[in-house]
Amino acid sequence: MSERTRIRRLPEKAASTRADLEAVLDAARVAHVAFVHDGSPVNIPTACARDQDRLLLHGSSGSRMMRELAAGVPVCVTVTLLDGMVLARSAFESSMHYRSAMVFGTATPVAAEEKVAALRAMSEAWLPGRWATLRPPTSRELAATLVLAVPLTEWSVKVSDGPPEDPAEDLDAPVWAGVLPVLTRYGEPVPAPDLRGGPPFPAEAATWSIG
């Protein structure tokens, strides 16, 4: 824990183990990447995936964000997962169930000889088993793609998962109280309009989950 990762607001919700961090990052698909560009703060959503002890980000080699991060500017990457709505007996006590992680550091470009492996790790995090069924990236595609790694060395995790905390004087109010879970799932597949040959829906995709 560093001074900037110490949770000051509701410190009892802090989660301190590496397993806590990995659980949040592995459930996430999108991170918000914050940095300073030309003297102004920016915060850009981008796909993310954990690969062992680093968080991988990827994008176009022409992207402003990717170029800035590759140059070594300080970065703060955040992930938030919404797990439920907490319905209390007052608006003041109503809240949300969430899991959030914040990672500080600097990003470094993944070396050219490791780029395919990093892209495969990202694909396997999002679409397990699908990489093996796809054609490999072309040299042109690899040249157009920049993969960055943020080390998981300075971070904080916060988890809110309890019931409503209504004061005693509100407990007899004729208002339902409890938690309404938020479930994230995949829907019915929609085939591409130019799908040819009638290939079946991939069997491995039936096991995928998110969140």
User: pLDDT tens digits, residue range 83-109?
Assistant: 999 999 999 999 999 999 999 999 999
Tell me if 5 sits within 8 A of 154, measured CB to CB: yes
Answer yes or no: is 174 within a domain: no
How far are the Cα atoms of 2, 35, 39 from residue 107, in angstroms, in the given order? 18, 11, 19
Q: How many structural domains compose the chain?
A: 1
Is the pTM of the predicted complex or chain greater than 0.85? yes
The CATH number of the domain where 70 resides is what? 2.30.110.10
At 205, give phi and psi (nearest 5°).
-65, -25
Answer yes or no: is 122 within a domain: yes
Answer yes or no: is 180 within a domain: no
Bridge pairing between strands 145-151 and 108-109: antiparallel
Answer yes or no: is 70 within a domain: yes
Range of the domain at 21: 11-165+196-207
User: pLDDT tens digits, residue range 148-203?
Assistant: 999 999 999 999 999 999 999 999 999 999 999 999 999 999 999 999 999 999 99
